[in-house]
C-alpha cells in the first residue's frame, strides 16, 4: 500500500477530534505564548499558527473572522490580531520555533517546546515611536544666531 498524496498526521483520531486538538494547541500557544507538547503535534501546529499570524498581520475584518473561526476562543483571536501581530511586523515568516526538550517520563515520547522567535514582552512598536519623536525634536531646535561684529559692538554700546 502506498502513502502518496496524504497530507498531515492522524494522531489516531478522527477528523473532528484532530481539528479540535490543533485548534486547542493553537489557542494555548496564542494565550500563553509558549507550549510544550509532543514533537509530531508541535510540527503540525506550527504551520497552522503561521497561517493565522499572516492573516492577523493584515488585520481586516474578514481575516479577523477567519482567525476567530480557527481558534477556540474569541479572546485569543483578538489577542493575536491586536497585541501579537503588530509586534511581528518586522518578520515575513518563521515566527515560531520548535525546541526539543527531552522525553516524557510515562511513555518516552519526544517532547518539544513551541514558542515565538521574537520576544513578545517588549513592544518594538512603542520603541519605534519614541525614536521618531526624539529625531523630530532635535531638528526642530533653532540654530543659534550668528554673531556679527556690528551686532556685538551695538550690544556693548548699550
> For the chain, what's the residue count?
158
pLDDT tens by residue, 30-78: 999 999 999 999 999 999 999 999 999 999 999 999 999 999 999 999 9
The domain at 15-136 falls in which architecture?
Answer: Alpha-Beta Complex (3.90)
- Other Cβ atoms closer than 10 A to 22: 19
Please give the share of the chain, as a percent, with pLDDT higher than 90.
Answer: 71
Alpha-helical regions (H) of the chain: 15-32, 39-58, 61-70, 74-79, 85-87, 124-140, 149-157
Q: Which three cell numbers stand for residue 154?
A: 551695538
What's the pLDDT at 97? 97
- The structure's pTM equals 0.75
3-state secondary structure of 95: coil
Q: How far apart are alpha carbons 98 and 127 in whole angstroms?
A: 28
pLDDT tens by residue, 120-142: 887 655 445 555 555 555 555 55
Whether the per-residue pLDDT at 145 is higher than 60: the answer is no
Whether the per-residue pLDDT at 147 is higher than 90: the answer is no
Q: How far apart are alpha carbons 18 and 11 in whole angstroms?
A: 7
Q: Are 43 and 70 in contact, with CB atoms under 8 Å apart?
A: no
Amino acid at each position: 500500500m502506498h502513502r502518496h498524496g496524504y497530507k498531515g498526521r492522524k494522531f489516531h483520531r478522527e477528523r473532528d477530534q484532530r481539528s479540535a486538538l490543533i485548534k486547542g494547541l493553537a489557542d494555548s500557544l496564542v494565550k500563553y505564548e509558549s507550549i510544550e507538547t509532543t514533537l509530531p503535534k508541535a510540527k503540525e501546529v506550527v504551520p497552522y499558527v503561521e497561517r493565522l499570524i499572516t492573516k492577523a498581520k493584515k488585520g481586516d475584518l474578514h481575516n479577523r473572522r477567519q482567525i476567530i473561526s480557527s481558534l477556540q476562543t474569541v479572546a485569543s483571536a483578538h489577542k493575536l490580531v491586536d497585541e501579537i501581530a503588530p509586534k511581528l511586523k518586522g518578520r515575513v515568516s518563521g515566527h515560531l520555533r520548535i525546541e526539543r526538550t527531552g522525553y516524557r517520563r510515562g511513555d518516552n515520547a519526544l517532547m518539544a517546546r513551541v514558542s515565538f522567535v521574537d520576544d513578545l514582552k517588549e513592544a518594538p512598536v512603542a520603541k519605534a515611536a519614541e525614536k521618531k519623536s526624539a529625531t523630530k525634536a532635535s531638528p526642530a531646535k533653532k540654530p543659534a544666531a550668528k554673531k556679527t561684529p556690528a551686532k556685538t559692538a551695538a550690544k556693548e554700546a548699550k
